[in-house]
Amino acid sequence: MKPELITIGSCTLDCILGIKDILRFELFDKDIIKKYTAIEYSRKLNVESVRFVPGGSAANIACNGAMLGLRSTYIGVLGNDFSAQICMDDMEKRGVDLSNIIKTNEDHTAISIILKTEWGKDRSILAYKGANDLLTPNDIKEELFDDVKVFAWTSLTKEDSCKAIDKAIMLTKSHNGHVFAAPSMSIIKNNEKWAKILISKSDVVSLNKEEAKEFTKKEDLGNIISSFADLGIEIIAITDGSNGSYLSDGETIIRSDVYDGKVEDTTGAGDAFLSGLIVSYLRNIPLQQMAKVATSMGYLESQEAGVREGVPNCYEDLEEFVESHSLMQNISKILH
């Protein structure tokens, strides 16, 4: 059977380093505070723990979708290395179709070095995209999109890989599917031209507040949302860490708090949030309830260390959590 959910973007092996002996400082520039994590020059530091965890936004979304009952496939390029095998084994275990993964000797599988410090909130990541960016339009097979309901893309930055995403968007729309975008800072800063092209062709966009500000060059939330709506985006989602999230259809803004409870690791929470939007959208769930479902997905994922952990194994379990836990929300209108 052909997939309902197709994703393109990063598939990465995350190397999570637990480290205590590291510096943290802040620089003040007028009204701007910049925070830094630093290693003292030419010093050897002891690492407390090492974990290898399969990750990458597009792979995460494919896995989350499969676990919630969608026929999911990931399209991407991985290296012929041990990292690729770890990533593929995990996706297969979660029910993702692997038949559209291309293996290459031209580069290594993408890897991210994530520092887990004693401060808990630090999300500093050293990211190497590697083989992910070798995707080309020729790798996108038209017949794969016959039954597509959702195509979700995350950041690739090279010309050919962006053209591959563009082709997938065209094929999705030609089969009456919906396009979900999760652009990261890498494409927004490193390939502004393609970021605007691909975002403007998407139906739903989900990104964090810093990314949204950088893309729109706006500071005020209402102006940020209006900028996306002016591009023709149907639903705009903006996450803001512990401050909650905003979901808008260009007219109404639903602000949702976060759930009370332990937060072990927020890596992958944004991908889980988007996965909640996808399953809600496909079920025609109203905007306010959609925000609850997405927030629940992000919260459940962040309760466990690593990405993809804590995600419900079926939609019914997710629905039960939403119904049995209260979430503070505020509804407002955008003034035009």
Q: Report the chain's mean pLDDT, rounded to a whole number.
A: 92
> Taking the chain, what is the end-to-end CA distance rounded to the nearest angstrom?
46
* DSSP, residue by residue, 201-268: T-SEEEEEHHHHHHHHT--SHHHHHHHHHHTT-SEEEEE-GGG-EEEESSSEEEEE-PPSS--S--TT
pLDDT at position 237 is: 98
pLDDT at position 306 is: 63
How far apart CA 271 and CA 14 sit, in angstroms, is 15
pLDDT at position 70 is: 96
Joined together, the tokens standing for residue 12 give: 């990465």
Rounded to an integer, the average pLDDT of 225-248 is 95
pLDDT at position 187 is: 94
Position 67 pLDDT exceeds 90: yes
Position 266 pLDDT exceeds 90: no
The residues, ordered by sequence, that sit 6+ positions from 109 with a Cβ below 8 Å of its Cβ are 11, 12, 13, 78, 79, 81, 83, 84, 87, 130, 131
pLDDT at position 122 is: 65
List pLDDT tens digits, range 272-331: 999 999 999 999 999 999 999 999 999 998 887 667 777 888 899 999 999 999 999 999
List pLDDT tens digits, range 139-155: 999 999 999 999 999 98
**CATH number of the structural domain 7-20+45-333:** 3.40.1190.20
pLDDT band, very low/low/confident/very high, at 121 (cuts 50, 70, 90): low
pLDDT at position 278 is: 97
How far apart CA 54 and CA 85 sit, in angstroms, is 10
pLDDT at position 302 is: 84
List pLDDT tens digits, range 1-39: 899 999 999 999 999 888 888 888 888 877 788 888 888
pTM: predicted TM-score of the whole model, two decimal places: 0.91
Can you say how many angstroms the Cα of residue 186 is from the centroid of all Cα atoms in its chain?
A: 12
List pLDDT tens digits, range 175-212: 999 999 999 999 999 999 999 999 999 999 999 999 99
Rounded to an integer, the average pLDDT of 235-259 is 94
Which run of H or of E encompasses 107?
Answer: none
pLDDT at position 308 is: 73
pLDDT at position 311 is: 84
pLDDT band, very low/low/confident/very high, at 335 (cuts 50, 70, 90): confident
Query: What letter represents residue 143's amino acid?
Result: E
Residue 304 burial (CB count, 10 A): 15
Position 336 pLDDT exceeds 70: no
pLDDT at position 190 is: 92
Q: Between 335 and 150, name the one with better pLDDT.
A: 150
